[in-house]
Each structure stands twice: as C-alpha cells, then as structure tokens.
Amino acid sequence: MRDTPSRRVLFQVGAVVLALLVTTVVLIAAKAPPLAAFANIVQGAFGSWDVTSNVLVAWVPLLLVTSGLLLTFTVGLWNIGIEGQIILGGIFATWALRVYGSSGMSPTVVLILAFVAGMVGGSLWAMLAGALKTFGGVNEIFGGLGLNFVATALNIWLIFGPWKRPGVASMSGTLPFDQRLWMPTVTPQSMLSVPTVIIAVAAIAIVYLMIQGTYFGLRLKAVGKNAKAAYILGIPTWQHMMASFALCGLFAGVAGAVQVTAVYHRLIPSISSGYGYLGLMVAMLINYKAAFAAPVALFFAALNVGSIQLPIVLRLDSSLAGVLQGTLVLFVLLGHGVRQRVLKKPQVVS
Amino acid sequence: MLVELRDIDKTFGKVRANAAISLRIPPASIQGVLGENGAGKSTLMKILSGFYTPDSGEILLDGKAVQIHSPADAIRHGIGMLHQDPLDFPPMKILDDFILGRQGGLFPNHRAASREFRELAGQFGFALDPEAYVDSLTVGERQQLEILRLLWLGARVLIFDEPTTGISLPQKVKLFDTLKKLAAEGMTILFVSHKLEDVESLCTSAAVLRQGELVGAAEPPFDTRLLVEMMFGKELPLAPKKTAVPGGKILSVKSVSIEGVRLQIRGVDLDVRSGEVIGLAGMEGSGQSLFLGACAGLTQPVGGSFCLDEDERDMTGRSHLEFKKRGVAYLPAARLEQGLVPGLTLTEHFVLSEGLGGLFVDRKKAEALAKERISTFNIKGTPESVVEALSGGNQQRALLALMRPRLTLILVEHPTRGLDIESTIYIWSKLKERCEQGTAIVFISSDLDEILQYSDRVLVFFAGQVSPPLRAESLSVERLGALIGGKDWENLPKEAVNA
Amino acid sequence: MRKTMVLVLLLTLTAAVGVFAQSAPPAAGSNLTIGLVMVGPYNDHGWSEANYDGLQYVLAKVPGTKLVYIDKANSSDRPGTTVSQLGESLVAQGAKMVIFSSDDMTDEAIKFAKAHPDIFVILTSGDQQWKEGKNYQPLPNMINIMGKVEYMKMVAGFAAAMTTKTGKIGFLGPLINDETRRLASSAYLGARYAWVHYRHRSVDSLKFKVTWIGFWFNIPGVTSDPTQVADDFFNSGYDVVISGIDTTEAVAEAAKFSAQGKKVWAIPYDYKNAIEEGKGVSLGVPYFNWGPAYVNAAKAAMDGTWVNHFEWNGPYWKNINDPDKSAVGFNKGTLTREVSEDVDRFVGQMARGLDLWEGPLYLQDGTEYLKSGQKATDQQIWYLPQLLKGMEGQSVSK
Ligand SMILES: Nc1ncnc2c1ncn2[C@@H]1O[C@H](COP(=O)(O)OP(=O)(O)OP(=O)(O)O)[C@@H](O)[C@H]1O
Ligand SMILES: [Mg+2]
C-alpha cells in the first residue's frame, strides 16, 4: 500500500474511532450510558451560546500554548516546562496590574502592560529551562518539570503571602482586580473577550508563517531534525534552541495573562489550568502541523467544557474528557507508527 | 544458499528503481553488482533484505518462494545486509549493539558473547574493543561491527552495499580474504561496489544495472573497459594529473596537539597554501578525522595553534561557525548524521547553507538556486526531494553542492565515497576548479589511488602519529600502503625535508 | 411644561425599569430545580457533605424540587473552570436556584448573581445581604445563610474542658478570619465556663492554644501540616484537640495516639456523622443542619416570596439535634456518663438564657470588648477583631 493523503486521513479517523471505542468501554465499565455521555459532552459544549462561548474561553489559552509549543517541537525540544511558563505569565501580569492598576493610567495601557509583563515572565522562565539545558546539560524535560514545581510553589506563596487578600489568605486566589482592569467581554456576563481571541488567532498565524516561510523557521527545523548537521551547515544551534524557548515562553506568558485578565480577573493557585499539558497533547495530535492547531485545540477545549456536564447529569467524573483526550493522542501516535510500517511513504521524483 | 530474484519491480513515485530484474546467485559464489549512482543497486539489495517489499516479482531461496516482510524476517531466512550508511544504535556499547537482534533469551550472556565477538573480530583482524561505544567509531569501523554482527546472527546470504568505501587497503585485503573464505564455506555473497578492481579481484560474476534495469552480466576474467561501457554507455578517460602552483598561505597549523577519545596527536605542523590539495592517508581511526575536525574548529586542540590566511589570524579556540565565516567549509563523512538534515528538501538545504538574510524565504530565488546546483552537480533529484530519498551517491553530490561559491579552504572526508567512477571524475574536476580559483583542499580518503591521483602533498596517519608532509609524486601505492600500516616510518624525516 | 412632563415621565420610566431590573426573579412555581455547587467532594464527611445532606432534606420535604449538583468546584480539581461557569452549567440543566456553598466562592457567586438576575442565588456563609453587615451589597436575587454554630463550638469547648486531664486544650485552626476567630473564641468560652463553673478551677490554670494551619485543609508546602500540628499538640501535653478545619486529621491522630495507650481526644467539625471516624476518641461534633434553611429558601423561590436577606440561624433550644428545626447541633460522641450529663445541663443553661458572649470580656491584647453585663450584638460577634484574652495563638494573620 502506498501512503496517500486520503489513506492518512483514514488512519487519523481510525484513531479517533478507536479512542471513542476505548472511552466507551471505560464508560460501560463504569456502568454509565456511553451515548448519553457523549451527547452530554456535545450538549455541554455547543448546546447554547453560553457554553460555546466558554469553549472559546478555553480555546484561547490552549491555542496560544499550542502555538508556542510548535516552535519548541520544531527545534526538537520537549518543553514540558510550559505549565510553569503560563504560571509565570500570570504572575507577571498580576504584578503589572497591581503596580500600575492604581497609577491613574488608562485601563487599556495597564492591560497592555500586563500582557507585555506576562510575555516577559513566560519568556524568562522558558529561557531558564533553556539555559539549564544549554549550559547545565539538564534535559529540558526534567528541567521543565522542576521549574513547573518551582513556579507553582512561587504562585501559591504569592497568593498566600505577599499578595493575599486583606486579612485572609484564600485558595480562591488574590482579591479580584478592579473591574476597569478586566479585559472587555462580549457581554457583561460572558468571559469571552474578543481581543484575546484575536491575539490567539494571530499567534497561530504567526507561528504558521514563521515555520512555513521564514529563514528562522527553516533553521529551527534543521536544528530539530539534525542538530549536528545544522551546526556544520552554519546554524548556531543553541542560540536557536534558546530563541524557540523564549518565543514559546512568550506565547505561554500571553496565555497566563489572558487567564488573569480575562478569565479569572485575579491570580489563582491553578492559573495554568493544565493548558500546558493539554497543549502538548494537541501538538502531538496534530503531528506538529500548525495548520491543524486551531480546530484540534477547539475540539479539546470543547471536550473540557462539555465534560463538566458529566458529573452533573450522569454523576460521572469529568476526568473522562481526559481519558478521551489521552487515548486519542495515544491512538494517533500509534496510528503514525503503524502507518509508517504498513504504508510506504511516497517519494519525490528523482 | 541459492538465491533467485524473478522480475523484481519497484517504483518510487515516478522513479522506476528496479525494472523486471531477474538474477540467479548460486551458493558459494560472490555476485558483484555494478552500476552508476541511482541505478537501483541499493533498492534491489533492500528488497532482498526485507527493507522494501517489491511491487511485483518473487524471491526464491533454494528454489522455494519466500515472502520477506522485514529485516528480521530476512535474517530468519539467513539473509543479512550491510548498509551503505551503516544503521546502528549510536549511544550503545559495541557489545550491546552486537548482541542486539539475537532471538531468544531474556538475559543475554555477555561473557559468552564477548568471547565470540573477540574470536570473530580476530578472524578478520578487526581491532574493535567490545566495551567501547558505537558512537566513537568511524564509518569504517561501524561497517566492521555490522559484518561481525550479521555473521554472528547466522546469516548465510551476506549483502554488502559498498563496504569498501570506508576501509583502508590492508583491512580491505583482510575483508576480501574472509569473504572468499566464507564463499568457500558455501555462503552466498552479494557485493555492490563502484570499484571495478574490487569486483574484478573478488567476484565470481558481475551484474550491471542502469536506470533500474539489468543491462549486462559478466564472468571472470572481466574486461574493465566493457564493464565501464555497460555502466555508463561510454568510455571514461581519466583526467591527467595537474600539479598546483601553490599561492599564499591559507592555513598554518603550528605544533598542534589534539586529544581524541582513543588516541592523541602530538605536535603537527603544516602550512597549506592557496590552490593546494593535501591528502590525509591512514587506516580508519588513525587520527585523520580528528585532525580534520580540529582544522574546522569542531574539536579544540590541547596545544598549538591554527591560523588562517596570509595575515595568520589566530583561530585557535574559535568555534566552527567562526571558521565558516572566514571561508572554511567542512564536509563530513557521515552524510546523514552530520552533513545533511533528513526530512529537509534539497532546496531547503541550499537555502540554509547559503545563509541568505532577510525574514522570509524567497521561494523563487530558492528554487532557482536549487535548480542551478542540482544541474551543476548532476544530482538525480528535484528541488523538493528530501535528502534521505536520494541514492547514496546523490547524497554525496548534494553534500558537495552545499559548498558556498567562494571558499578559502575545503576540508572534506571521503569526497567521493559512494560515487560511481564517472561522478568521481566529475566531482574532482569540480574540486580542482576551486583550486584554480585559489581554494585549498584538505581531504581524507581510504582510497590510496585517489590520494595519489589528486593530492599535491600527503600526510600519513598511523595510530595518532603524523608524518611530515610528503610530496605525492615521491610516493607509490605500495609505499603508502606500508606507511599507513605503520611500516617503513624510519626513513621519513629525510624525505620530509625534501618535501 | 410639556418638556418637564416628558422628562418626569421618562425618569419614572427609567426608575421603573430600574426597579424591575432590581427585583428578585419571578416565582418559580410548583417545580424548582436547585443547583448546588460544593467546594469539596459531596461525600467529604465535612462541610460539603453537610450541605449535600441539607439538599437531600429539601428534596424529601418540598414536592416538586429537583437537585443538580457539582462538587469539587475548585480550580485545582477542575482546572480551567470558574465557579460561575459551573453555576451556569447547572442552570443549563434547568436550575432556577443555585447554591454556592462556600465562603471561597464569594467573588464568583457575586459575579454570577449579577450576570443572572433571573436565578435565585444562595451564598452560604456570606454576609453581603446583611444590611447591618460591613460588606452590604444588595442583590435582589441573593440571600446569605449561615448557622450559629458558635453555640455548638461552646458545647465542644465545654466537653473538652470537662474531659481534659492536663488542662490543656488545643484548637486546630484553619486560616484566620472573622469566622474562624469567633468560632475558636466560642470554643474557648465554653471551655472556660466548664473549667471555672463545673470543675471549679481558676481561669488561669486552663491552657487554650490555637494553631492556624493556613487553610481549610492541608495543601502540602503551603499550609502547615495538620497532622503534624495535631501531633505537636498531643506530644506537648494537650490531650484534647478541637478541630476547626474541614478535614479530620485531628481525629485520626487522636485515634493513633490512643491506640498507643495515650489518653487523648479530639472533636471534629461540620458534619453530623464525622464522629464515626474516630470511635472512642471523638467527644462529639458541632455540626450544621442546612436542611430547614434551604427548605425555606426553596419555598420562597417557588411561591414568589423571595426577598434578599441575610440569615444567621440559631439552634432549636428544646432539642438542638432536631433535624426539622435546629440549624446547628452537637452530636455527642465518646463522653463519660457524668460529662455527658453535664453537657446536657450546660445546653439546658444556654437554652434558658445563659449567654457566654456577655461582658466583661477582653480581647487578646487586653482591650475591653464587652463591658460587664453588656451582651454582644450579632455584628460584634460576626466581626470579632481578635481572639479573646486567655487564649494563646495568633489573632491576626501577618
Ligand atoms: N526511499 C526512496 N524514496 C524515493 N526514491 C528512492 C528511495 N530510495 C531510492 N530512491 C530512488 O530510486 C533510485 C535508485 O536508488 P538506489 O538507492 O537503489 O540507487 P543505487 O544504485 O544504490 O545508487 P548509489 O550508487 O548512488 O548508491 C534513485 O533514483 C533514488 O532517488
Ligand atoms: Mg546505493
């Protein structure tokens, strides 16, 4: 058999079907009606404009994070530290809001400052992981995991320490910011903020262009596929790794700033919402192809939001969404492997 | 074992790599397979060894039709293949690599395996330390390891895809002896090569492929001219040797000492002048790769200095990228490991190596560049071909095509490794053109003829010892062969003074 | 003139619209789906389960009600969600009334109530709808409900002081705020009363120490470890530990020490059946009985009598464990017969008017809190600024 685009789609679809099957088996084992469960997820994600706007709210940071991760994946790095980078983005954005929020500057300026601060925070944290790898020889996966722990601890320390609510520390986070400093939303009750959607779409577009069309992207690709050869071809390798870390951290930082300014309006202990790890899954699922990032991230966001219905309606744990996402990634990766064994790649004419 | 291939067909996209090839190889014989670059030799061998499945046609072993779906399948049928670019598991110990792939047994018996490894290696005179790591081996040594491994796994049909390109004359002699011995014991051996003299001295019959088709066969005694004609459709005259008129200083190596993993090089002095070609001769792993890498700034010396250009700019301790900026190009032997980036297309390679500025890649310009290089270097491939889809020889051409237009110094390992005769001649003509423009070349080759044919001066390496520069005219193949084997070094200094 | 008329008309109209917008949602009618948002697991044997049980009570008592709930509504357990969003998903399941049952949900509950004026909202343990409170922020669709568990903390303190052999009582506190200060102080008042009036010892010989862990439950690396704090108490001679946190480490540690032959006890909190986990070491548990209050709220929502307000419900003194009438109770555990009788006697005294929130009372720093004979107002109790004199431990978080 030859590997053609249509067969590739077949494999992808097959993976999705298998993942659904496994999830169904899990559901049956949990004595839950599978169809009702899936129907509830769909209903919970697209049943009304309210829930759909919630899906978009989750989509924005997820897409931002995925965009960043595509860059680190391109250069051959596993930026597990992405969670910490989101957190630092959130912390820096909060810091900016605390410092400039009452300075009399216009809210727009303050919010822009918060986003810039978030970028700086995420970027710095990512470069720390990069420096550990480049200069300390610490594998980015371990370094990243360590930095995630540190970031979480730092965040909680801030919330329960210097930035706690007057008199009372609270797990629900710092005191909400003044309403002036909330990102504008579509309607007052919605959390969906159009500017953040625009930022996220711009992010993935930039990354797409960067990888497809720029020298920088091409160099990243070369380093990712063969660092030794790339170096001999004249590409400064560690500098490119650092740059991709910094850029990825920047996008993660924006995601953190979005969480703080548009979703929670305060800094909360789990400000990253696990979007970093979810983003890793999305990136793997789309086989690191930027073109598919937006729809697949939307799908994951929908699963996350839709599955909130499960505990309410079916008394099921909403981690079912996680099961589905996890098996999906697993099967798609498996599918890649099988495809490479079964189908031969078509090659360019010589 | 009797191996029969019947009407084997294999197409890649629009390329018909094998077209209805039928070949019958009796046991206890050595079948030579010849053909220009991209003729389809490797493809045919990969089909026999389970890497590819043919589009149509069948394979018979001892008269029985068999289906070979994977290399593991092949080895179960007793077919082992030594690849053109040896596949291995770099960060492992040699012994572990050796043991890998053997069936059965949860816990490999290391002691027994180690003993068998040493015995086998001894038979061939291969000096491989089972405790060393595979990634510290040269290309030639990796091939040795692969040979041992396949034999140990019980292969009765052995396929060698250009095995002699990386190893030196004495090792080659030893290898050939062993192959003959193996054939005498009833083994079936397929031997792909571009070196006619190898085929002539070794094979019991030869098949010639051209553009995917079997175009001829020959039995000993072979007629070299006929073989060349079958391969290329014409005769190939060798260009007359030209001696360069050396110009200004390009590279000064001053009492440089280098420490490698397994050997040390002490106090090398060398001045390379513009237009000059320096050949580095020696058995695989004698220090020449280490030295060449150091000249490129890839390995830092522990003593001495490297200076570039007439003004003797000190480059000691600088990175390769800085050497590169000053017009030094380095072309490594491990093409797909160090030289090229699998997954990227030819166009992308050229774009990268040219280091064009700007934010966005100018697609039109890039494609024009690729087309020009592809035609200049006669690469069989399109701008969109990913490099791993190119045949071995074409990968080598691609590597050479990556050199930027104006260079002061070209450092190259095995420049014609895997190239057919025609291409070898062509590539050297290209390199010599560069010399005429003032570029100097330092190259490594295990082919002593190539060293003597193309270099002006020669440095001989033996276990880290380095001879003074010797004039190529003053050397013969026999003399050089003795030197790289460590003999006859007593008389060297005197000659060096003459050099 | 004409112009003025138009203007007045316009103004009235806007006002009317304003009033309309400001009014509580319309009556829900004969059917009401209630949404419950719980901070912990619905079966946590603590605060959340007490709320859950309260709603089971509503379902049994009020025909036409239905329950949809979501538990573990905190951003660690449900990353990416906000509490108001969870409230919305309950609304999507038909909820017309949503109960946010934790102090930690205050911001989100207010956000939700503002965004959904057509939904009845209960913020349990909040004070936003208390006209006389400090945080008054009227929202027509919101009510606050809280139980006067202070009395039951007094009973807990009483039982502790009657049981202690060493005269040292530990209080395992969560974080420091108005609520936790008044609860710890109530326990102290009960203990002091037992010590002086029942055991006839001097006030000064009673040691009552509060150690705050920093949150309602253990968060490794953030809070002090409650297990460790309980151990420290028991190891330094405190033989009764009163728990003010939402989890049951104190009871577990008491059981462990007691298994090693030490005579120690503990008192859990929140949930009526929490004593079952520490048979033999639990002296009893001060608990909330949310059912009756939630029934009232549900009925108000159904028949259109909903008015935003704050309620702080006391015990039904005739029978503090009456499931239909008492908002708070004390479920006795392992008590000696004498202590058990004394506890009943003490409850009887309070029922007849004994008020321990009566002067003279001094704050921890010595300033006068209540003059002799002065009774504390609800506001004074709710917003207690410090621990009381005689208690050891931090009054204000640094
Ligand atoms: N995996 C592949 N995908 C696409 N085309 C391929 C692939 N392998 C080989 N080809 C094409 O098939 C043809 C034959 O290639 P093959 O490697 O068999 O040549 P060869 O005779 O071994 O040449 P060389 O002497 O250069 O090694 C070439 O045109 C090559 O580009
Ligand atoms: Mg080949």
Residues B279-311 have pLDDT tens digits of 999 887 789 999 999 999 999 999 999 999 888
Mean pLDDT over residues A111-116, rounded?
A: 96
Non-local CB neighbours of B235 within 8 Å, separated by 6+ positions: B225, B228, B229
Q: How far is the CA of B211 from the centre of ligand 2 (A)?
A: 13
Cross-sheet strand order for the sheet of B3-12: B15-25, B3-12, B56-61, B64-66
A·C CB contacts under 8 A: 99
Q: Which of B330, B344, B386 to mutate to test the interface with A (most CBs of A within 10 A)?
A: B344
Mean pLDDT across chain C: 89
CA gap B45, B275 in Å, rounded? 41
Examine the pLDDT at B103 and tell me if it is beyond 60: no
Confirm if A278 and A114 have CB atoms less than 8 A apart: no
Tokens 């949404």 found at:
C35
How long, in residues, is chain B?
Answer: 499
**Residue C327 located in a structural domain:** no
**Residue C322 located in a structural domain:** no
- C-B interface (Cβ pairs under 8 Å ≥ 3): no
Does B359 contact A348 at a Cβ distance shorter than 8 Å?
no
**pLDDT value of residue C4:** 54
Quick one: C251 and C307 in the same domain?
A: no
Q: How far is the CA of B43 from the centre of ligand 1 (A)?
A: 6
**Residue C319 located in a structural domain:** no
pLDDT in tens, B159-194: 998 887 666 777 788 788 888 888 988 889 999 988
At position C201, the amino acid (one-letter code) is: R
Determine the 3-state secondary structure of C122 from DSSP: strand
Instruction: Please write down the long-range contacts of B117-123, taking CB distance under 8 Å and 24 or more positions apart.
Output: B117/B148, B117/B152, B120/B148, B120/B151, B120/B152, B121/B148, B123/B178
**Residue C1 located in a structural domain:** no
CA gap A305, A46 in Å, rounded? 9
In chain B, which residue's Cα lies nearest the Cα of A3? B13
Instruction: Look up the domain containing C84 and give its range.
Output: 11-149+290-313
- Residue whose Cα lies nearest atom 27 of ligand 1: it is B392
CA gap C199, C163 in Å, rounded? 10
Determine the 3-state secondary structure of A154 from DSSP: helix
Counting ligands in written order, which one lies closest to the CA of residue B416?
A: 1
Does B359 contact A221 at a Cβ distance shorter than 8 Å?
no
Residue-range domain boundaries for chain A: 60-294
In chain A, which residue's Cα lies nearest the Cα of B380? A350
Does C79 contact A171 at a Cβ distance shorter than 8 Å?
no
Tokens 């789906």 found at:
C33
**Residue C221 located in a structural domain:** yes
**pLDDT value of residue B133:** 83
ipTM surpassing 0.85, yes or no? Answer: no
Among A218, A232, A349, select the one facing B330 at the smallest CB separation: A232
Confirm if A119 and A250 have CB atoms less than 8 A apart: yes
At position A12, the amino acid (one-letter code) is: Q
Mean pLDDT over residues B324-352, rounded?
A: 90
CA angle A235, A237, A238 (to 5 degrees): 145
Confirm if B309 and B322 have CB atoms less than 8 A apart: no
Does A215 contact B360 at a Cβ distance shorter than 8 Å?
yes
Non-local CB neighbours of B17 within 8 Å, separated by 6+ positions: B10, B11, B40, B43, B212
Mean pLDDT across chain A: 88
Mean pLDDT across chain B: 86
The CATH number of residue C215's host domain is 3.40.50.2300
Q: How far is CA B218 from CA B25, B228, B471, in A?
A: 13, 12, 39
Chain mean position to CA B388: 16
First to last CA, chain A: 21
Quick one: C155 and C144 in the same domain?
A: no
Mean pLDDT over residues B51-65, rounded?
A: 93
CA angle C200, C206, C208 (to 5 degrees): 145
Mean pLDDT over residues A110-121, rounded?
A: 97
CA gap A119, A110 in Å, rounded? 14
Closest ligand 1 atom to B43 CA: 18
Confidence at A1, pLDDT banded by 50, 70, 90: very low
Beta strands C142-147; C120-124: pairing state: parallel
**pLDDT value of residue B114:** 85
Chain B CB within 8 Å of residue A98 CB: no
Beta strands C265-267; C240-243: pairing state: parallel
Quick one: C277 and C371 in the same domain?
A: yes
Quick one: C239 and C385 in the same domain?
A: yes
Greater model confidence, C220 or C282: C282
CATH of B238-327+405-499, one of 3.40.50.300, 2.60.40.10, 3.40.640.10, 3.20.20.140: 3.40.50.300
Domains B3-232 and B238-327+405-499 equal at CATH topology level: yes
pLDDT in tens, C171-199: 999 988 888 999 999 999 999 999 999 99
CA atoms within 13 A on the CB side of A211: 24
Quick one: C351 and C371 in the same domain?
A: yes
In chain C, which residue's Cα lies nearest the Cα of A179? C111
Determine the 3-state secondary structure of B497 from DSSP: helix
pLDDT in tens, A94-110: 999 999 988 888 999 99
Q: How far is the CA of B354 from the centre of ligand 2 (A)?
A: 28
Examine the pLDDT at B493 and tell me if it is beyond 70: no
**Residue C324 located in a structural domain:** no
Counting ligands in written order, which one lies closest to the CA of residue B388?
A: 1
Quick one: C384 and C256 in the same domain?
A: yes
Quick one: C134 and C245 in the same domain?
A: no
Greater model confidence, B182 or A241: A241
Quick one: C222 and C351 in the same domain?
A: yes
**Residue C235 located in a structural domain:** yes
Domains identified in chain C, total number:
2
Least confident of A5-9, B444-448, C87-91, C196-200: A5-9
pLDDT in tens, C106-164: 888 998 998 899 999 999 988 999 999 888 999 999 999 999 999 999 999 999 999 99
pLDDT cut 90: percent of chain A above it:
53
Confidence at A350, pLDDT banded by 50, 70, 90: very low
Does C397 contact A167 at a Cβ distance shorter than 8 Å?
yes
Least confident of A311-325, B317-331, C244-258: A311-325
Chain A residues within an 8 Å CB radius of B91? none
**pLDDT value of residue C279:** 80
Examine the pLDDT at B32 and tell me if it is beyond 90: yes
Quick one: C124 and C53 in the same domain?
A: yes
Confirm if B307 and B315 have CB atoms less than 8 A apart: yes
**pLDDT value of residue A346:** 38
* Burial label, A135 (beta-carbon count in 10 A; 0-12, 13-18, 19+): exposed
Tokens matching residue B68: 């070979």
pLDDT in tens, A155-181: 988 988 889 887 666 777 898 898 889
Confidence at B378, pLDDT banded by 50, 70, 90: confident
Mean pLDDT over residues B212-230, rounded?
A: 89
Residue-range domain boundaries for chain B: 3-232, 238-327+405-499, 339-403
Confidence at C16, pLDDT banded by 50, 70, 90: very low
CA gap A226, A267 in Å, rounded? 41
Examine the pLDDT at C17 and tell me if it is beyond 70: no
The continuous run of DSSP H or E covering A297 comes out as helix A293-306
3-state helix, strand, coil in chain A (%, to 5): 75, 0, 25
Tokens 């953190």 found at:
A256
Chain A residues within an 8 Å CB radius of C81? 308
The continuous run of DSSP H or E covering C369 comes out as strand C368-370
Determine the 3-state secondary structure of C352 from DSSP: coil
**Residue C102 located in a structural domain:** yes
Quick one: C44 and C178 in the same domain?
A: no
* Burial label, A137 (beta-carbon count in 10 A; 0-12, 13-18, 19+): exposed
Quick one: C192 and C232 in the same domain?
A: yes
Superfamily of domain B3-232 in CATH is P-loop containing nucleotide triphosphate hydrolases (3.40.50.300)
